[in-house]
Chain A
Amino acid sequence: MHILVVEDETRLREQLRDQLRQSGYVVDVAADGEEGLYFGEQYPLDLAIIDIGLPKLSGIELIRRLRSHDRHFPILILTARGNWQDKVEGLETGADDYLVKPFHFEELEARLNALLRRASGWSKPVLDCGPISLDTGKQSITVSGNAVELTAFEYKVLEYLMLHAGEVISKTELTDNIYEQDYDRDSNVLEVFIGRLRRKLDPDNTLTPIETLRGRGYRFRLQANAG
């Protein structure tokens, strides 16, 4: 998942970048509204975190321009003042959620997950595909009701595949969205992760939830459960 953080406060910007990377997101940072606009227009983003009080171009104006340029990724606004006028203005301009500073990173992550999930068309926090159930809130997996332990990267890979269940995801797309861009793409780390995921989710090899399509990528085969 590719996230843009637009925040003028250097300390907070770097903290957010590091914490988000640790959680497995691909993160770009911008220090002012104009830079933010450039990233927002030039990069394929899944979500943007935008501070309201930005230099050069205010957060509100940035959101307005992104939306008017047909950028529909979810936007989370950060506000220091926390008054309702700011919040309402931001939401009316095109933001999808707000968070008042200071906040706990866990809270931010929960909001991000909800926004990303909603943007992928999942309305509930729990993604159910066949016997596999992924709780984006708790970041936990169960198969037929039994908990499965995953590492953070394995979780991110599975979450991305399940959010796009039924779609073919190329290796490049998957690596782009799981790792930083300077990651060595030729290595077979991804194959290793997929192999481990398959073993953990489906030790008996009866379910085969993740398909490999030669030369095209991977597909989460199980369809979302109705309801």
Chain B
Amino acid sequence: MHSLHSRLLLTASLVLAGFLGATGLALDKAFRVSAEAAMQERLQSHIYALLAAADEDTDGRMLPPQQLPEPRFAKPDSGLYAAITADGGETLWHSGSLTWQDIDLNERQNPGERRFSRLARAGMQLYTLAFGVAWEDNAGTESLYTYTVAEDTSVFEAEVDSFRSTLWRWLGGMALALLLVQGFILRWGLRPLRSVTADLQQVEKGHTDRLHGPYPRELSGLTSSLNSLIEHSKSVQSRYRNSLDDLAHTLKTPLAILQSSHADGSDADADRVLVREQVERMDEIISHQLQRAAVSGRATLAKPVAVGKVVDRLVHSLNKVYREKQPTVELRLDPSVSFTGDEADLMEVLGNLLDNAYKYCSSVIKVCVQVDKHSDGIEISIEDDGPGIAPEQVDGVLQRGARMDETIPGQGIGLSMANEIITLYGGRLSFAASPLGGALLRINFGTTD
């Protein structure tokens, strides 16, 4: 069951079939009950008519009816039968219709009581009603009789059958109509999904660069996430391509230098220095481009990363590395601050900045992680009591790596790397002088939504 459409259609059809089936059965049953009640009524009225037709002799004793109220009683095999049973159990009288039938309708009922039943007699299905009567003669003696009337069920069954066929024809028609309507509703209701799929195929084929919509409210979350994913993968792709381009280009320069030095036959010591210089340069180029390409950038589906925890881990690790120096690290970390993005990226930014602080501080480092009151984003500040960065150096420090041809000796590419990642996440890295005496680096990330 891999299609929503067939799933919905199947379940809805099953529910529909169950509902209509149950309705049909209930109606059928109800009709049968009411038809049987009507049958009983009819048989009762036949009995009353027979009673009315009964005569009495001069002593006031009952005589069986002579004038039959219903001609069918007289007609043999008419399907309507009657019999009167005396108190002793012997048949006092039976209708003419019973003449050729060997049907025993003898029954005893107390006066005023009746019994309605369905019988199978001599290969026939009959509804019978037995009714007990007390007849008082002139002497005041009571005689008990039981009037029994029976009717063949064939008429009744024919009625029920005709009702049944009408009922099921209607229900079937309704089911068909409902199925058609439901199929139409499903097609219509699921059309946005199909259009998203078609749009996605367009994106895949490269005919369009995003899902344009409009899509219904229930889908807009999905489509906007898809759009961010598409954009994200595009930006990653272009970053990879750019990095590869840059890598190839920037590596060419040191390679050219090495190649020409090899050709001009200068002395071995100078060569060694040159090789060393250029190898270092190539290493820097590679690690810079590698890290730049590895940054995931702002991802919409990333789970939030607790900033304080990352700072804690880094400080713990750096304390180990800089055990000799043992700077005092003052941490003010708001545990509720979290960063929406890749943990590795955040670690790269904070690792580079903290490493610089450890490297350049003389004994004190201060790290503060808090909610930025102005923008509701994140503010991370790292300061130390080292020599600091002069304002005119800032650009150079940040540009390093971006312009690998002009190298500034003695400075790692950490800061420019961090700056690049921060920019990718739409954040900002700013420099100030710390009250501690060294540099104060402040990172601001806006709210990510």
| Chain A residues within 8 Å of B, Cβ to Cβ | 81-85, 87-88, 91-92, 96-98, 100, 102, 114, 118, 123-125
Whether A84 pairs with B283 at a CB distance below 8 angstroms is no
What is the chain A residue whose CB lies nearest that of B351?
Answer: A84
B202 at the A/B interface (Cβ < 8 Å)?
no
The contact sample of 10 A-B pairs, CB cut-off 8 A, is: A82-B291, A83-B348, A84-B352, A85-B343, A85-B348, A88-B317, A91-B317, A96-B321, A97-B320, A125-B324
How far, in Å, is B400 (CB) from chain A's closest CB?
Answer: 16
Counting residue pairs across A and B whose Cβ atoms lie within 8 Å, the total is 48
B258 at the A/B interface (Cβ < 8 Å)?
no
Whether A92 pairs with B348 at a CB distance below 8 angstroms is no
What is the chain B residue whose CB lies nearest that of A90?
Answer: B317
Which A-B residue pairs are the 6 nearest by beta carbons? A84-B351, A91-B317, A84-B347, A88-B317, A85-B344, A91-B320
Whether B317 pairs with A85 at a CB distance below 8 angstroms is no
B314 at the A/B interface (Cβ < 8 Å)?
yes
How far, in Å, is A172 (CB) from chain B's closest CB?
Answer: 31
What is the chain B residue whose CB lies nearest that of A84?
Answer: B351
Q: Indicate which residue in A84, A97, A98, A114 contacts B314 across the interface (CB closer than 8 Å).
A: A84
Complex CA gap A85/B321 in Å reads 15
How far, in Å, is A120 (CB) from chain B's closest CB?
Answer: 14
B205 at the A/B interface (Cβ < 8 Å)?
no
B220 at the A/B interface (Cβ < 8 Å)?
no
With A84-B352, A114-B324 already in contact, the answer to whether A92 and B287 are too (CB < 8 A) is no
How far, in Å, is B44 (CB) from chain A's closest CB?
Answer: 95
With A83-B291, A87-B317 already in contact, the answer to whether A123 and B347 are too (CB < 8 A) is no
Complex CA gap A85/B343 in Å reads 9
How far, in Å, is A99 (CB) from chain B's closest CB?
Answer: 10
What is the chain A residue whose CB lies nearest that of B323?
Answer: A118
Whether A91 pairs with B321 at a CB distance below 8 angstroms is yes
Q: Which A residues lie within 8 Å of B279 (CB)?
A: 102
With A83-B294, A88-B313, A92-B313 already in contact, the answer to whether A98 and B351 are too (CB < 8 A) is no
Whether B323 pairs with A92 at a CB distance below 8 angstroms is no
Complex CA gap A118/B322 in Å reads 12
Whether B287 pairs with A100 at a CB distance below 8 angstroms is yes
Q: Which A residues lie within 8 Å of B30 (CB)?
A: none
How far, in Å, is B106 (CB) from chain A's closest CB?
Answer: 101
B316 at the A/B interface (Cβ < 8 Å)?
yes
Q: Which B residues lie within 8 Å of A124 (CB)?
A: 324
B176 at the A/B interface (Cβ < 8 Å)?
no
Q: Which B residues lie within 8 Å of A125 (CB)?
A: 324
- Besides A81-B290, A83-B291, 9 more A-B contacts (Cβ < 8 Å) are A83-B344, A83-B347, A85-B343, A85-B344, A85-B348, A87-B317, A88-B317, A92-B313, A96-B321
Q: In which size bucket is the chain B interface?
A: 20 to 34
Scoring B290, B343, B350 by chain A CB atoms within 10 A of each residue's CB, the highest score goes to: B290
With A92-B313, A102-B279 already in contact, the answer to whether A84 and B320 are too (CB < 8 A) is no
Complex CA gap A97/B320 in Å reads 7
Complex CA gap A96/B283 in Å reads 24
Q: Which B residues lie within 8 Å of A118 (CB)?
A: 323-324
Q: Which B residues lie within 8 Å of A82 (CB)?
A: 287, 291
How far, in Å, is A11 (CB) from chain B's closest CB?
Answer: 15
Whether A102 pairs with B283 at a CB distance below 8 angstroms is yes
How far, in Å, is A200 (CB) from chain B's closest CB?
Answer: 29
Complex CA gap A91/B316 in Å reads 9
Whether B351 pairs with A87 at a CB distance below 8 angstroms is yes
Complex CA gap A100/B279 in Å reads 14
Whether B314 pairs with A88 at a CB distance below 8 angstroms is yes
How far, in Å, is B150 (CB) from chain A's closest CB?
Answer: 96
Complex CA gap A123/B291 in Å reads 34
How far, in Å, is A59 (CB) from chain B's closest CB?
Answer: 16
Q: Indicate which residue in B283, B317, B351 contacts A92 across the interface (CB closer than 8 Å).
A: B317
Complex CA gap A85/B305 in Å reads 14
Q: Which A residues lie within 8 Å of B324 (CB)?
A: 114, 118, 123-125
Residues of chain B from 335 to 390 with CB closer than 8 A to chain A in the complex: 343-344, 347-348, 350-352
Complex CA gap A82/B279 in Å reads 17
Complex CA gap A102/B351 in Å reads 19
Q: Which B residues lie within 8 Å of A97 (CB)?
A: 320-321
Complex CA gap A57/B395 in Å reads 44
Residues of chain B from 284 to 322 with CB closer than 8 A to chain A in the complex: 287, 290-291, 294, 313-314, 316-317, 320-321
How far, in Å, is B327 (CB) from chain A's closest CB?
Answer: 14
Complex CA gap A82/B355 in Å reads 13
Complex CA gap A92/B309 in Å reads 13
How far, in Å, is B379 (CB) from chain A's closest CB?
Answer: 21
Q: Which B residues lie within 8 Å of A102 (CB)?
A: 279, 283
Complex CA gap A156/B348 in Å reads 39
Q: Which B residues lie within 8 Å of A96 (CB)?
A: 320-321
Instruction: Encode B406-441 as 1/0 by CB contact (under 8 A) with A.
Output: 000000000000000000000000000000000000
Instruction: Encode B265-283 as 1/0 by CB contact (under 8 A) with A.
Output: 0000000000000010001
Q: Which A residues lie within 8 Å of B321 (CB)?
A: 91, 96-98
With A97-B320, A97-B321, A123-B324 already in contact, the answer to whether A88 and B351 are too (CB < 8 A) is yes
How far, in Å, is B382 (CB) from chain A's closest CB?
Answer: 14
What is the chain B residue whose CB lies nearest that of A104?
Answer: B276
Complex CA gap A83/B344 in Å reads 8
Complex CA gap A46/B448 in Å reads 49
Complex CA gap A150/B355 in Å reads 36
With A82-B287, A97-B321, A98-B321 already in contact, the answer to whether A92 and B347 are too (CB < 8 A) is no
What is the chain B residue whose CB lies nearest that of A114?
Answer: B324
Q: Which A residues lie within 8 Å of B316 (CB)?
A: 91-92
